[in-house]
């Protein structure tokens, strides 16, 4: 009898706590309207940013150089800072690749990230815990493959587009003997067709290294949720993105100019 008496208040307290928790959940809004909450906050942020930028532009002179002189070409000739990432890419890739293919894939890849990165809770969840792959890929692509390239082109590329460490004197007479070779030639191929085949195999491995992983991961739960089409699209875009740092490392370490040389394009 005593046990039943002791159990009754405990059950009552548990039920009361459950009811209070349910009431608290009901009291909290499940959705917040865009107007006025989001629009008001965005409007205030826009006013603050505009005020700061206006005061900054009035107080600080723009670092403009002298008027262009066709008889005196600057060394090095640099693009505006927002294009220096593309100019840095030209060191490692052909102009068509660095100026057309990679920028287009960057834009397309960033646009499809919310669609190819599945989330059981649906769209609108962009925390690190909810979407680690989407946020990690975006931050790596933006900070490492774009902001870092702009930093290199702005502060570490001097006369002759040579590499200078921060604080190092930009010697306009600096010369560096670099003998860049193609990957097939470095591997010992001397004939055209042998170089063509080796380059084709190496390029295929560079962009399709993820294919052998499909039989291993196809039984994973996240792979079943994602589906073959989204996985292939994600893996292809990710491999294309990683081709830039891989090519940069190959240039820095082995002075490799191109991986695949053809009469129509070079990679």
112-114-119 Cα angle (round to 5)? 135
Range with the poorest average pLDDT among 116-120, 194-198, 217-221 = 116-120
Q: What is the mean pLDDT of residues 160-168?
A: 86
Residue 161 or 120, more confident: 161
How large is the average pLDDT for residues 53-60?
Answer: 91
Q: Does the predicted TM-score (pTM) go above 0.75? A: no
Closest-CA residue to 214 (of 202, 232, 199): 232
Question: 74-121, pLDDT tens digit by residue?
Answer: 888 888 888 888 888 888 888 888 888 888 887 887 777 777 776 666
Average pLDDT, the chain: 82
Give the span between the Cα atoms of 92 and 99, in whole angstroms: 11
- Which CA distances in Å does 77 have to 74, 80, 169, 175, 245? 5, 10, 18, 17, 24
pLDDT at 173: 83
Residue 176 has pLDDT above 50, yes or no: yes
Burial class from Cβ neighbours inside 10 Å (0-12, 13-18, 19+) for residue 97 reads buried
- Whether the predicted pLDDT of 52 surpasses 90: yes
CA–CA distance, 215 with 251 (Å, rounded to integer): 33
8 Å CB contact between 110 and 116 = no
Query: pLDDT tens digits, residue range 236-255?
Result: 888 888 888 999 899 888 88
């Amino acid at each position: 009898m005593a046990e039943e008496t002791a159990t009754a208040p405990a059950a009552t307290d548990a039920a009361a706590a459950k009811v209070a928790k349910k009431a608290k959940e009901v009291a909290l809004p499940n959705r917040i309207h865009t107007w006025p909450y989001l629009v008001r906050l965005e409007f205030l942020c826009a006013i603050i940013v505009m005020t700061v930028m206006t005061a900054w532009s009035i107080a600080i002179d723009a670092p403009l150089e002298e008027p262009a002189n066709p008889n005196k070409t600057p060394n090095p000739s640099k693009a505006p800072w927002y294009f220096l990432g593309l100019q840095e890419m030209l060191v490692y890739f052909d102009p068509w690749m660095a100026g057309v293919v990679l920028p287009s894939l960057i834009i397309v890849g960033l646009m499809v990230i919310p669609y190819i990165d599945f989330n059981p809770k649906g769209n609108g969840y962009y925390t690190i815990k909810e979407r680690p792959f989407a946020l990690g890929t975006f931050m790596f692509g933006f900070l490492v493959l774009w902001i870092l390239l702009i930093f290199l082109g702005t502060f570490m590329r001097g006369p002759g587009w040579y590499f200078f460490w921060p604080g190092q004197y930009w010697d306009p007479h600096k010369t560096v003997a670099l003998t860049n070779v193609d990957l097939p030639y470095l591997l010992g191929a001397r004939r055209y067709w042998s170089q063509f085949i080796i380059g084709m195999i190496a390029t295929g491995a560079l962009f399709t290294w993820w294919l052998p992983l499909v039989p291993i991961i196809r039984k994973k739960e996240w792979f079943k949720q994602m589906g073959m089409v989204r996985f292939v699209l994600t893996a292809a875009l990710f491999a294309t993105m990683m081709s830039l740092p891989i090519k940069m490392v190959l240039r820095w370490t082995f002075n490799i100019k191109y991986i695949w040389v053809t009469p129509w394009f070079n990679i």
